[in-house]
């Protein structure tokens, strides 16, 4: 029995790594879908998209730069530099620049209902895949790491720390002229709840048995 467990451990770890990379890539697809809808997105992604519009740098490049700033702030708050968190930043920047042009080519009817459905689909993709990759326990994107750092500092739930970050993001978004829409308001008010719920579901439905078995070993 112990031998069977040892043989299956690499496969289990490989599955968790796969889910981690899939989760990060899925968030890139969700961001691109929301931007395609032109109904807005969360304030920080809107800020990044606005910076990409007014500068020669790409969406992926600005994503890397902004998240490295989040990483530094989180490190200062926690008094600990989590160097592995640099990997998802670079990975997501690359995937964004690969995925967004492909999604931009997709046809989307220019009516309100189609755009709303497109936004909701993108938002759901972001929330689900964020929950999946966070549930693996592997290095988080700095924006999510900062969310937890602020929650610990303020002794509050991640829903409220995320809301605080989104409010600050609003100021940056308006400063750089980022895309603002109804979707921005929706995500600002609900993303903390959505991410928390999706993380819980991912832990219970997708990764619970594997992560529990790994901890036992």
- Please report the pLDDT score of residue 1 as a whole number: 43
160 has pLDDT over 90: no
Torsion over CA of 172, 66, 94 and 106, rounded to 10 degrees? Answer: -10
Taking 80 as the threshold, does the pLDDT of residue 173 lie above it? yes
Q: What pTM, to 2 d.p., does this model score?
A: 0.81
Assign 2 a pLDDT band (cuts: 50, 70, 90): very low
pLDDT at 94 over 90: yes
- Tell me the pLDDT band of 128, cut-offs 50, 70 and 90: very high
pLDDT at 102: 93
Among 13-17, 81-85, 155-159, 212-216, the minimum mean pLDDT is found in 212-216
Tens of pLDDT, residues 4-40: 444 455 667 788 889 899 999 999 999 999 999 999 9
Q: Which two tokens stand for residue 90?
A: 């670079």
Q: What angle do CA 89, 51, 123 make, to 5 degrees?
A: 60
The pLDDT of 99-104, averaged and rounded, is 93
Is residue 217's pLDDT more than 60? no
Whether 40 and 163 have beta carbons less than 8 Å apart is answered as no
Total domains in the fold of the chain: 1
Give the domain extent around 64: 2-216
Going by C-alpha positions, the residue among 73, 31, 37, 72 that lies closest to residue 52 is 31
Quote the DSSP letter at residue 137: T
Average pLDDT, integer, range 208-214: 56
Provide mean pLDDT across the span 62-83: 89
Percent of the chain topping pLDDT 90: 40
CA 17 to the chain's CA centroid: 16
What pLDDT is attached to residue 5? 47
Contacts of 42 (CB under 8 A, 6+ apart): 166, 169, 184, 187, 188, 191
- Per-residue model confidence (pLDDT) at position 7: 44
Mean pLDDT, the chain, integer: 85
Instruction: Specify the DSSP class assigned to residue 140.
Output: P
Q: How far apart are CA 62 and CA 79, in angstroms?
A: 25
Please give the Cα distance from 215 to 130 (Å, whole number).
Answer: 22
* pLDDT recorded at residue 4: 45
Give whole-number Cα distances, 108 to 6, 97, 100, 113, 118, in Å.
49, 20, 14, 11, 8
């Amino acid at each position: 029995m112990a031998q069977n467990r040892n043989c299956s451990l690499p496969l289990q770890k490989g599955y968790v790594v796969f889910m981690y990379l899939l989760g990060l890539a899925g968030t890139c697809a969700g961001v691109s879908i929301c931007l395609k809808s032109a109904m807005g997105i969360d304030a920080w992604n809107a800020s990044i998209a606005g910076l990409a519009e007014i500068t020669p740098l790409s969406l992926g490049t600005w994503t890397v730069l902004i998240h490295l700033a989040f990483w530094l702030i989180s490190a200062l708050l926690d008094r600990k530099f989590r160097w592995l968190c640099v990997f998802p930043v670079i990975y997501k920047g690359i995937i964004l620049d690969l995925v967004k042009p492909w999604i931009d080519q997709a046809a989307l009817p220019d009516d309100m209902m189609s755009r709303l459905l497109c936004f909701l689909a993108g938002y759901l993709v972001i929330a689900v895949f964020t929950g999946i990759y966070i549930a693996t326990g592997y290095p988080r994107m700095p924006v999510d790491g900062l969310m937890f750092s602020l929650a610990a500092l303020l002794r509050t739930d991640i829903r409220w720390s995320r809301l605080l970050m989104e409010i600050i993001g609003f100021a940056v978004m308006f400063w750089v002229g980022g895309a603002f829409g109804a979707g921005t308001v929706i995500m600002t008010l609900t993303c903390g709840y959505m991410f928390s719920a999706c993380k819980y579901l991912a832990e219970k439905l997708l990764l619970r048995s594997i992560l529990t078995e790994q901890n036992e070993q």
